[in-house]
Amino acid sequence: MSRIRLLPRSAARRIALIGLLIYAAALLPLGIAVYYATHAALQRQIAANLAQLSDTLQTDYRNDGARGLMQVMARLHGAGPIPQGAALFAADGRRLGGNIETAPPAALGWQKILLRDPREGPDPALALVSALPDGNRLVVAADLEALETIDRTLLGVFAMALVALFGLGLLAALLLARYLRRRLQPLDRTTAAVLHGDLNQRAAITAAGDEFDRVAASLNAMLDRIAALVENLRQVSADLAHDLRTPLMHLRNQLEALHDESDPAQRQARIEAAQAHTDEVLALFDAILRIAEVDAGQLAKGFSVLDLSALLAELADSLQPLAEDSGHVFSAAIAPELRVRGDRQLLAQAVLNLVENALRHTPSGCRVELRAGIAAEPDSGTITVCVRDHGPGIPAADRARVRQRFVRLEASRSTPGHGLGLSLVEAITQAHAGQLQLEDAAPGLRACLLLPPYRDSTEIHP
């Protein structure tokens, strides 16, 4: 059996309906409170008028006696919308006079009584019974039938106001539902298009700059990121297949040649060549996995405070023989007391990649320089680690593209590598909350790591 839906499916309509119910729930007690407050105010006013009338009549009785009081009571008509009257009773209960007909009072003070109306019958009334000095009793009363009429009028007015306000609330709820539906439709269309594979669809952003626009902007930024990742995945897949094809084909050829190779020396050479091709494939996968590991962002949990100056000094000592073997001139200038929070192995890998790129892509005899210090901007405190060469450099139009995985410029096709060096460097730099900058050194290229400094030196690891 299907479940009965108490609320509409549309979230916008549910919000509007719930808002209307809350509005009605707040409006009804307000109307009731106003009604009872008005009723109580009228009752207090009636009681105050009766008390004042009783005091006046008692004064008249003391001054003019019963005859003067009778004359005053005969002229009473009541003040305001509530008719008032009075009657004088003897101590034995006989009615002596007055302009109202009622039974003799049984007690003194405030009480509810019935007035005799020859046309409409008994009417309820509020009465104040007072004892006079000679034992007689004075009854002043106000007919409550008029108060009941006023109450019914108030109830009618409140009912009409409630219906009108509820109608306005319903209209406001419908307009709100329409507005929410209109603002949410672009987001719904965008997500529906993405679900059908269209990653180029984007949500419209208005000039209002409200929460819906901020959600739309976040959604668009997320879709831009997803589209970039998907495109990068496609590129990586294609480039990976292309880069793996050559070493795997060489490996297969070497293995096939081993079947017919009888010369032990040649057989050993082919085995070593096959191992070299296998190592090349494994190195490629290691680089890809390393980049993925850094991109995952989990390595920051194991970061510690490092003496970057000491680390770079060690790297400079180890890179000097490598540069001399390749025919390059290598120099280093490292400022002292440079401290960062990060991973020692990753930072060393990033700097090593930059230096190896400079040695690999510049001709023999070129100078390669490693410089580290504090940025020149005032109060920035940013640590810069720069590798500058005097080679051909990288054109400005290609400096963003070379950061992508497997991207190799035409001038680098003849050199070893897979185009992952700068991708790994940028991933490591971003994992350390830094930036990788590629600049024209005129001549050559300057590749700089911009890293935030660590200012608390209580925990130092060399």
What confidence score (pLDDT) does residue 2 get? 45
Q: What are phi and psi of 395, to 5 degrees?
A: -55, 145
How many structural domains does the chain have? 3
- Within a domain: 436: yes
Q: Which two tokens stand for residue 54?
A: 């009783």
Same domain, 310 and 426: yes
Same domain, 329 and 444: yes
Full strand arrangement of the beta sheet holding 383-389: 329-334, 367-374, 383-389, 445-451, 435-440
What confidence score (pLDDT) does residue 129 get? 92
- Per-residue H/E/C for the chain: CCCCCCCCCCHHHHHHHHHHHHHHHHHHHHHHHHHHHHHHHHHHHHHHHHHHHHHHHHHHHHHHHHHHHHHHHHCCCCCCCCCEEEEEECCCCCEEEECCCCCCCCCCEEEEEEECCCCCCCEEEEEEEEECCCCCEEEEEEECHHHHHHHHHHHHHHHHHHHHHHHHHHHHHHHHHHHHHHHHHHHHHHHHHHHCCCCCCCCCCCCCCCHHHHHHHHHHHHHHHHHHHHHHHHHHHHHHHHHHHHHHHHHHHHHHHHHHCCCHHHHHHHHHHHHHHHHHHHHHHHHHHHHHHHHCCCHHHHCEEEEHHHHHHHHHHHHHHHHHHCCCEEEEEECCCCEEEECHHHHHHHHHHHHHHHHHCCCCCCEEEEEEEECCCCCCCCEEEEEEECCCCCCHHHCCHHHCCCCCCHHHCCCCCCCCHHHHHHHHHHHCCCEEEEEECCCCEEEEEEECCCCCCCCCEC
Return the half-sphere exposure (C-beta side, CA atoms, 13 A cut-off) of residue 360: 17
- Within a domain: 170: no
Same domain, 66 and 133: yes
Same domain, 278 and 365: no
Which residues are within 8 A (CB) of 80 and not within 5 positions of it... i.e. 6 or more apart? 45, 49
Same domain, 270 and 347: no
pTM above 0.75, yes or no: no
What confidence score (pLDDT) does residue 4 get? 44
Which residues are within 8 A (CB) of 402 and not within 5 positions of it... i.e. 6 or more apart? 394, 409, 419, 422, 438
Same domain, 318 and 238: no
Same domain, 290 and 304: no
Cα gap 239→295, rounded to integer Å: 19
Cα gap 34→28, rounded to integer Å: 10
| Nearest C-alpha neighbor of 313 from the set 331, 334, 330 | 334
Cα gap 223→205, rounded to integer Å: 14
Cα gap 289→295, rounded to integer Å: 10
Residue 143 one-letter amino acid: D
- Within a domain: 49: yes
- Within a domain: 199: no
Cα gap 70→130, rounded to integer Å: 16
Same domain, 445 and 332: yes
Q: Which two tokens stand for residue 354?
A: 């930059």
What confidence score (pLDDT) does residue 280 get? 66
| Nearest C-alpha neighbor of 389 from the set 448, 450, 317, 435 | 448
What confidence score (pLDDT) does residue 357 get? 84
| Nearest C-alpha neighbor of 412 from the set 369, 367, 371, 356 | 356
Cα gap 380→393, rounded to integer Å: 28
Same domain, 349 and 407: yes
* Full pLDDT tens readout for the chain, 462 residues: 444 455 555 666 677 677 777 777 777 787 788 888 888 888 888 889 889 988 988 888 888 888 888 888 877 765 455 678 888 888 888 888 888 888 888 889 999 888 887 676 788 888 999 998 888 899 998 888 777 887 888 888 878 877 887 777 778 777 877 877 787 788 888 888 888 877 778 888 888 777 778 888 888 888 887 877 777 667 666 655 656 666 677 777 777 777 777 777 777 877 777 777 677 677 666 666 666 666 555 566 667 888 889 999 998 888 888 888 888 888 889 998 888 888 888 888 888 888 888 888 888 888 899 999 887 765 567 888 999 988 887 777 666 666 665 555 544 444 454 556 677 788 888 888 888 888 887 888 888 888 888 876 444 455
- Within a domain: 193: no
Range of the domain at 265: 211-295
- CATH number of residue 383's parent domain: 3.30.565.10
- Within a domain: 89: yes
Question: Per DSSP, what are the bridge partners of residue 371?
Answer: 333, 386
- Within a domain: 169: no
| Domain final position from 295, 318, 347 | 295
Same domain, 424 and 327: yes
Same domain, 328 and 280: no
Asked if 368 and 458 count as a contact pair (C-beta separation under 8 A), the reply is no
Cα gap 351→357, rounded to integer Å: 10
Same domain, 430 and 416: yes
| Nearest C-alpha neighbor of 193 from the set 182, 204, 183 | 204
Cα gap 218→179, rounded to integer Å: 21
| Domain final position from 250, 279, 295 | 295
- Within a domain: 180: no
Residue 38 one-letter amino acid: T
| Domain final position from 245, 263, 295 | 295
- CATH number of residue 115's parent domain: 3.30.450
- CATH number of residue 274's parent domain: 1.10.287.130
